[in-house]
């Protein structure tokens, strides 16, 4: 493997679960400690990782400078520390930059995880501690950049996310990239088959017994139980609920007001249809 293998997604779409599975699977299906073992699959936008490879403190740079710097740093990480990384970066050039933060030549392959945006809206509201109306608005924001606070230090450096639809299509239609698209709903419905495909795509062992162990070690009840006992360090401090909340598909039917669901269809409907979210 050379270059970066990305586990890419819009936020709250099943990325952490996938990382947990891979972390367990890489260790032969062993039980995992959420707070230490996820480091087997690093977060590409982690401030310390980016500072280290850029040899610059991103806290001393403007958003535009970071947007210019990130592709250079991505190539550097691809060369010096290739491996599997999680990211919420869109495959789009951020404002002021000439290329995406992770250019195609730094990428080995991409697993893109997508989830029904109506469920994302509910999950995002819990995660950010905002209302579903606000999270629905965030998902329509074509200029959305996360990790950009000018008031205090974020654990991530600025990364351009854009709107839900733009994010999804930027990866779905990526040229020159080996891509596997997984729907979160399929991962839940048929975990064995979907995670086996994931393993084969990553050239990992897809032996049935190990797969089963890894899935058991990282099932929702196990992860959520661990979080409530030990806490989970990646959860934002202003989040209104646990990071691992429900782990089910379709909860929007109960938790999302019908007019918000309609608004999502109005703003994201075309891309939803592409993925079979009717």
Partner 1 sequence: MADGYLCGWRIRSAIPLPELMPWTVDERPADLTVEIGEVPERLPGGREASSFLQVDDDGACLLGVPEVGRFLVRPSGAITIRPLPEASPAEIRLFLLGSVLGFICHQHGLLPLHGSCVEMDGGAVAFCGHSGVGKSTLALNFARRGRRVLSDDVCVIESVDQVLVRPSFPRLKLWRDTIEDAALSTEGLERNRRGQEKYHYLVHEAGFREPLPLRAIFLLRAAGPGESTGIERLSDALDILTALTAQTFRPRLSQLLGKAAQLFQARARIASSVPVFTLARRPDSPPELWLNDIEATVRG
3-state secondary structure of 159: strand
Task: Verify binding: residue 60, partner 1, rule CB under 8 A.
Answer: yes
Task: Verify binding: residue 73, partner 1, rule CB under 8 A.
Answer: yes
Task: Verify binding: residue 54, partner 1, rule CB under 8 A.
Answer: yes
Task: Verify binding: residue 233, partner 1, rule CB under 8 A.
Answer: yes
Task: Verify binding: residue 59, partner 1, rule CB under 8 A.
Answer: yes
| Tally of CA atoms within 13 A in the half-sphere of 143 that contains its CB | 3
Task: Verify binding: residue 56, partner 1, rule CB under 8 A.
Answer: yes
Task: Verify binding: residue 55, partner 1, rule CB under 8 A.
Answer: yes
Task: Verify binding: residue 138, partner 1, rule CB under 8 A.
Answer: no
Task: Verify binding: residue 151, partner 1, rule CB under 8 A.
Answer: yes
Q: What share of the chain is helix, strand, coil (3-state, %, to 5)?
A: 50, 10, 40
Least Cβ distance, residue 55 to partner 1 (angstroms): 4
Least Cβ distance, residue 229 to partner 1 (angstroms): 8
- Cα distances from 233 to residues 11, 242, 246, in angstroms, run 16, 11, 18
Task: Verify binding: residue 152, partner 1, rule CB under 8 A.
Answer: yes
CB 86 within 8 A of CB 21: no
Q: How far apart are CA 128 and CA 239, in angstroms?
A: 5
Contact with partner 1 (CB under 8 A) among 2, 176, 208, 237: 237
Question: What does the CA dihedral 149, 151, 157, 162 come to, rounded to 10 degrees?
Answer: 10
Joined together, the tokens standing for residue 40 give 């087997």
Binding site for partner 1 (CB under 8 A): 35-36, 47-48, 51-52, 54-62, 64-65, 68-69, 72-73, 76, 150-153, 155, 230-233, 237
């Amino acid at each position: 493997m050379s270059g970066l293998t990305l586990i890419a997604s819009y936020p709250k779409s099943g990325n952490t679960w996938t990382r947990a599975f891979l972390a367990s699977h890489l260790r032969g299906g062993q039980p995992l400690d959420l707070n230490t073992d996820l480091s087997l699959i690093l977060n590409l936008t982690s401030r310390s990782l980016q500072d280290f490879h850029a040899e610059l403190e991103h806290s001393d740079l403007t958003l535009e400078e970071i947007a210019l710097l990130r592709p250079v740093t991505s190539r550097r990480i691809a060369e010096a520390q290739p491996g599997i990384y999680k990211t919420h970066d869109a495959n789009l050039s951020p404002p002021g930059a000439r290329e995406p933060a992770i250019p195609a030549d730094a990428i080995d392959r991409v697993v893109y995880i997508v989830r029904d945006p109506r469920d994302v809206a509910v999950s995002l509201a819990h995660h950010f501690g905002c209302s579903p109306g606000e999270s629905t608005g965030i998902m329509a924001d074509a200029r959305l950049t996360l990790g950009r606070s000018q008031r205090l230090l974020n654990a991530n450096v600025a990364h351009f996310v854009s709107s839900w639809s733009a994010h999804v299509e930027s990866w779905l239609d990526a040229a020159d990239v080996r891509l596997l698209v997984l729907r979160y709903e399929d991962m839940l419905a048929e975990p064995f088959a979907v995670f086996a495909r994931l393993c084969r795509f990553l050239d990992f062992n897809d032996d049935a017994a190990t797969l089963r162990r890894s899935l058991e070690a990282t099932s929702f009840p196990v992860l959520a139980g661990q979080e409530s006992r030990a806490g989970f360090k990646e959860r934002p401090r202003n989040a209104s609920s646990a990071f691992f909340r429900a782990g089910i598909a379709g909860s929007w039917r109960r938790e999302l007001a019908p007019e918000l669901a309609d608004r999502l269809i109005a703003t994201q409907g075309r891309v939803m249809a592409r993925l079979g979210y009717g």
